[in-house]
Amino acid sequence: MNMPVTNNNTLGTYLKDRRSKLDPAAFGFSLTRRRTPGLRREEVAQRANVSPTWYTWLEQDRGGAPSAGVLDRIAGALMLTDVEREHIFLLALGRPPEVHYQGSESISPRLQRVLDALEFSPALVRTCTWDVVAWNRAASAVFDYGGLVPGQLNILRRIFCDPLTRAAQLDWEGVARFVVAVFRADATRAGATKNIETLVHELCRESPEFNAMWRDNDVRIHGEGIKSLKHPLAGLIAMEYSSFVVDGRPDLSMVIYNPATPTDFDRVRTLIESCAVF
């Protein structure tokens, strides 16, 4: 029985494979006198602005780990996608590359259909700056998103600046501290610390409570738990929630709320049905 060959040089093997799949002509290199497909090592080195000898050693697992800047140039030279770039960072340095925030206020129609399929489970998609960019009918009924304009769709603004949202929380201070801590962690993870400065300054100015909580420098993950609301029409509603990062979109998280008991389910269903009448 033939055993698989163990390859300890996974980075070199991967780089060689990637360059073998590139068309030299697309980069202005001659096609003459080539014995193997793809770019030569010296051509990758030229595109990455590194010495051919050093790049050869890198593929041969000699000379130590490269710097993050050099890996970025190699990724560009090999036309790697974001996930391929992350892969070579993990192979070479054991960590992903530094995140560069690329925010967007839209989601794919496919993801919206996932939200809409959750008929009695309020679900939403939010950015790392906690702007709600998509939701389903159940979320509109329970959280009253339908009548809000874009500026009011930021969860932090609602928690700290909207009296109705504040009144709906059973433990406002606990919820507020949780939201601020997760917001800080989300923004840092997505590389958006510069992008949130305007919002943070606005909230610090408008809400002394946010200002104090922000200065505490707490961080938490959203994860899963129980959300309890005092709804003005339906009364107390308890929901189990889970948060998921959208694959390929580190700036987006989907949060799904499931009614915790049959009584909570009936209250959510009644709200949805009452909204459908109007």
1, part of any domain:
no
| Alpha carbon distance, N-terminus to C-terminus of the chain | 70
Convert the pLDDT of each residue in 166-197 to its tens digit.
999 999 999 999 999 999 999 988 888 888 99
- Residue 122 sits in a domain whose CATH number is 3.30.450.180
Q: Are residues 149 and 228 in the same domain?
A: yes
Residue with tokens 């060689």: 16
Q: What is the pLDDT of residue 163?
A: 94
Q: What is the pLDDT of residue 46?
A: 94
Q: What is the pLDDT of residue 205?
A: 96
Q: What is the pLDDT of residue 219?
A: 94
Q: Are residues 70 and 140 in the same domain?
A: no
Q: Which domain holds residue 55?
A: 10-93
Q: What is the pLDDT of residue 103?
A: 66
Q: Are residues 237 and 199 in the same domain?
A: yes
127, part of any domain:
yes
Q: Are residues 83 and 114 in the same domain?
A: no
5, part of any domain:
no
Q: What is the pLDDT of residue 97?
A: 85
CA distances (Å), origin 58, targets 35, 43, 66, 70, 216: 21, 14, 8, 11, 44
Count Cβ atoms within 10 A of the Cβ of residue 172 and give its class: 0-12 exposed, 13-18 middle, 19 or more buried: middle
Q: What is the dihedral of CA 218, 222, 225, 228, to 10 degrees?
A: 80
Domain boundary among 37, 66, 93: 93
Q: What is the pLDDT of residue 6?
A: 52
Q: Mean pLDDT, consecutive 10-residue segments, the chain of 278 residues?
A: 62 93 90 88 93 92 86 93 90 84 77 95 93 93 78 88 94 96 91 90 96 96 94 94 88 94 96 72
256, part of any domain:
yes
What letter would DSSP give residue 256?
E
Q: Are residues 246 and 126 in the same domain?
A: yes
Domain count within the chain: 2
Non-local (6+) Cβ contacts of 5 within 8 A are none
Count Cβ atoms within 10 A of the Cβ of residue 107 and give its class: 0-12 exposed, 13-18 middle, 19 or more buried: middle
Q: Are residues 117 and 74 in the same domain?
A: no
Q: Are residues 88 and 147 in the same domain?
A: no
Q: What is the pLDDT of residue 265?
A: 97
Question: How far is residue 135's CA from residue 147's CA, in Å, rounded to a whole number?
Answer: 13
Q: Are residues 197 and 230 in the same domain?
A: yes
Domain boundary among 62, 93, 124: 93
Q: Are residues 115 and 204 in the same domain?
A: yes
